[in-house]
Each structure stands twice: as C-alpha cells, then as structure tokens.
Structure 1
Amino acid sequence: MYRALFSLLLTRLDPERAHHLAMAVIRACGVRPLAPLLRAATRPDASLAVEALGMRFASPFGVAAGFDKDAVGAAGLGALGFGHVEVGTVTAVPQPGNPRPRLFRLVADRAVVNRMGFNNRGAEAAAHRLARLRRRRGRPVLGANIGKSRVTDVADATADYVHSAALLAPVADYLAVNVSSPNTPGLRTLQAVETLAPLLSAVKDAAGTTPLLVKIAPDLDDDEIAGIATLAVRVGLAGLIATNTTISREGLVSSPQAVAAAGEGGLSGAPLRERSLEVLRRVRAVVPDEFCVISVGGVDTADDVRERLRAGATLVQGYTAFLYRGPLWARQVNRGLRRTAASVDG
C-alpha cells in the first residue's frame, strides 16, 4: 500500500513538503489514543534489547539525526518501533537553513541529496521539548545531535558547541557532536585532529555525565578515520557515529541530468552502504570492544542491520529508507531481526 502511495502521490510532491506532511502524521502517532495502540503492535521483541551508553535500548535500530530536527516527532517515531531517536542537528542559534529547494530524491538509487543547512529552532527550544519528552511513558532513547551555528565563525566554534551542550545535556540521553555535515561552510575542517581535540574536550566538560559521541564523514581517508577514532577514545568520549552523508556521486544509476538537477549537498541512502560499512570496520579495528560505535548510512533491511551488528556496530541508525519503506519500516526491521535470532536459537 505504501509503495503505491509513494509512487502515485509522494513522488509528485516537493520532497521537503512531503517530509513535513509525514511528520504531521508521525506526531499524531505519538499521542493518545493512537500511541498505546501502535506501541502494542510495533514493540520490539524483548530479545532485541541492547545495553549501550549506560542505558537500555529496546532495539538496536534507531533514527539518525536529520529526520526530526526539532524534536517534534520523537514520541511518534518511538511508537512506530524505533529504539532510539537522535534529534537535530540542533544549533545554538535558531536558523532557517539554506534556500529552497534543498532536498531532492534520486529514486533510481533509493537515495536523497540534501543541503538543508541545519534548519532548526535552536538549542533552547529543543531543550524545552526534550524535557517534556523525557516524562513520556514508553518513549525511545533520546539523543541530541549538535552542530555549529552558521553565524558563528569556525574559529569560535567551540563556544558555540559548548552553549548547545550545556542546554541539551540535562535533557538528552546522549549528545552527538556533528562536525561532518557538508552543508555548513567550513564545518568539516573541524574534523582535523588538532582542531577537534580541544573542541571535544570542552564539549565533554559541558556535557557532564551525559554520554558524548562524535559523528564523522564517510569521505575521510583511512588515516583520518583512525586518527579521529583514537582521539575519541583518548578524550574519553562514549562513542562514535559512522557516518554522515557523502559528497561523492560515484556509482549512481540515476541519469546525469537528475544528479545535476539535485546539485550540491550530502548524498544519503543505498549508495552509501558499502562505504559506511567499510568505515565502521576501520573504526572498530582501533577502538576498545566496550566503546559504542553507531553505524548509519545505506541501511535499509533487517539484513543490513544484522550485517552492521556483526561488523561491530553497537547500534544502527537509518533515515533515507524511511522515505522508500514507509511508517512500518522499523517494525519490519525488528521482526526481521527477531526471525533471524529465533532461527539461530532453534
């Protein structure tokens, strides 16, 4: 049914407008009387629970940052079966993001190109919403992804991140430092180890006891990946998220005209699958077993999630495939994971 809806209706809508319509439905899923009914139908099997970052995740599968930028749909996403929701990216200063259009589908590749530019209502507003969400029964684990405000110079980025961390750490279950989006000028330069080290140390101090992770780009080379992973352990972070979107356009099957029309921005979805998996393996090779590694990029099916877990991921996130799979995606993944576990047990 969803496939027909996507083909006949959603593909005719501007992608960002379609996303806002979907979020309205998702928000409704998070309130009574619908939320308890949905949770009863989508609740992950108890065997899928994961202990990570000092807390219990009902499923290893969650929603990556970028889907719920302002923490308005997290309760509904939890009711749909996701074990955690990483809201944001949130910035210290509210900002509208880049000019529209800024979100594009590459349907032939099951991919999306975005140059949203961290559009959000700011860290203070997100903190108020997360505080209310934390009191909700049956909520998912709530992460908050923080980025640099566009009006802040790269040289002043640390203070900007610290401001957001101080507001969000008391109300989020974990924080993630985003230095890897391609859509904020100069942001990826912060991934250089000599720049990243003092930034992460300062944000960790501001986060206090709230677990802190860092999110990296798939476009780093092997030495850079190993360097950041080693740094994250040395600074005392709780984990690392691999990976963000890519600026590469290699291997796409969409027409050159469609790719050109989408323009610049981060590519997510199926084309990122192999690179994201490779980065996961390189990170896991240099960090301790107890270090949390969240894998994201090109995740679509239960088999994809299982492959990431076997490659060393502690948790797995998805985003783009929601567009192509629809609202029952998390339930499909969780049931697929349970069927595999049951066959192994048997």
Structure 2
Amino acid sequence: MNAVNRQMTLRRYPEGMPRESDFEVVTSEIPDVGEGEVLCRAQYLTVDPYIRVHVSPSMSVGYAPTTPLGAPIPGEAILQVVQSRHPGFKDGDFVAGFGGWQDYCALPGDSLRKVDRGLAPLSAHLGSLGMPGLTAYVGMTKLAEAQAGQTVFVSAALGGVGAVAGQLARIKGCRVVGVTSSAEKCRYAVEELGYDACLDRTRPDFAASVAAACPEGIDVNFENAGGEVFWAAFNNMKPYGRVLICGLVADYNDGAPPPGPDQAPHLLRMIALKRLVLKGVMVADYWDLRPRFLEEVSGLIRDGRLKSKEYVVQGIENAGRAMIDMLSGRNFGKTVVRIADAPVD
C-alpha cells in the first residue's frame, strides 16, 4: 500500500474550457475504514462530461453539489478492495463506485457494485457496461420508441453514451446517423460500428450535411452535444419526432447563455407545429434496469455485435488533461484514466 493518497483536485474553478493549471495533485493520508465501509484502491477513473458540470458553480445548480476547491474531483471509478468492513466484500474484489479522482477511498459497502471481469475488461465497466452504457440503454429501449427503418441521429457518436446508443439503434434496425469531430472518427463510426452515415461537426457545411444525410428527416435525436449540433438536428426533425436530451457538452464551458436573439419562440413553435416530444434522460431514475442491461449488452459485446473504443490516459496526474481532451474532442472513444499499477486485463 502506498504511504500517501494522491488526489486530483481543483486549484480554481475553470472559466470556459478548463486549463491544466486549473487542476492540482495533492496528497493526503489514506482514509480510515469505518464499520460497513470498504477501503478501495483505484484502478481506472472515468472522465465523462457530467464531471465538468460538477466543477462549475453556475452549471451544477439543480444538478449536483459543486465540487469544493481542494477536494477530489468526483466521478465513478473501478476499484479494488484493500480492506473490507462490510460482509458483502472481501479483499481483492473489483468494484465500481463514486470514489472520485484519487488513489484510495473509503466508501459505504452499500454504495458499491461488484464488477464481473468475465463480462468484459475492467475499464468497460466505466463505459459500455457502466453508467454511460446504461444511459444509452435507457434512452434507446425505454424512451426513444424507435422503430426499424426510422432515422436515429446521435451526437458525440463515439463517446461513452453515444457509441452504445447508436449501436443499439442499429441493432433495432434503425438508420443511424452519427456526429463526431473528425473525418477519421466518422470513418470508424461507419466502418466499425455500422453507422449508416457520420458527419464531421467541424466542417463549415455541417448544418447542410445534416439535411443531406437525413433527406426524410429525423425520427429520434439522441442529443449529447447541444449548441449548433442540436439546432442542426432540431431543424430537420420529422413530425411526431422524439428528442432525448441526454447531454449538452457544447454548453458546459459557457458561464452564461450565449448572446444573440432568444431562440425559445422558434423552439416552441417547431415543437407545436411538428408535435415533437422532448424527454430528459436521467440514468438515476432507472438503476433497477441494470441487471437486464448487463445481461443484454454483455451478450451483444460477447457476440461481437456491439463494439467499444477507449481513449486511455495513463496516470492520475494526467486526469485534468484527459478532461480537456474529452471536452475539446481530441479524444477518440470513451475516456478513462488508468492508474499506473492497475492490473492488466
């Protein structure tokens, strides 16, 4: 066991796109373990868009408590049990829990879930078999009401949520159009994940390319991006279409609403004229679906029908850089941080 606990913390709250100087690695003592708790050592840390909301005093209102300066940045992790004072866990078990960006954490045993290494590599339990995958599963199986032959539009199409949502839609027999941030990513989405089309949001003709790729309109928009991506999809929705609001990562670095005319009248008018349905996706409402989700999605992974790609960053000291890469689109796949001495899957 290390003598100290390394923690990635905030030196200051980011203004706009985070910078590496906003983050700081500090050390603390390894926490004591209380009755009913489990001391764990981190193996993999997740880097997801929701973490950016946690570190923004303006964005976190109504969503989650703002992370205090100097505290470990929150997030789910794959952990190995070092010492257990809970009857459900023993030393050496692999678990998932919200331990944050630090080497060691002591968590209530009832807040942890065991990780089955036989289903997929450990890191996959932060992605396709973790909270992002469950979010995609909830959206596509419970909320989207997508039917075979319909067009499903997925932004952030190679992210932890988007990649699973797009592939689940494809498996249902839908026509899937994805959005990513480079031509290379688009090729991967089409050639490896089976998307029917994929659009590069950085191109100047992006809005026109959405209309060209969806000539009959969009039945389901699985929205992870917001910003211009949202409006390009929204303006091409079919009557009776469904918009699932899962994430708005393009807006997470904004401290205030964007300048310009109020778009609410146009939004509300089109909702009324096209009889659109807008639904928010909050995975916390559907934890009870986890057993069915794990069974179905792990089976798809085992059969090779659902694939995943990871962007792995080495070392807790680089977790801040990993967040910046994820928010700026420099990542390629679901972003995770691997602790240096994590086991080899």
Q: Normalised by the size of structure 2, how large is the TM-score?
A: 0.29
Q: Identify the structure with the greater strand proportion.
A: 2
Q: Normalised by the size of structure 1, how large is the TM-score?
A: 0.29
Q: Identify the structure with the greater helix proportion.
A: 1
Tell which structure's C-alpha radius of gyration is larger.
2
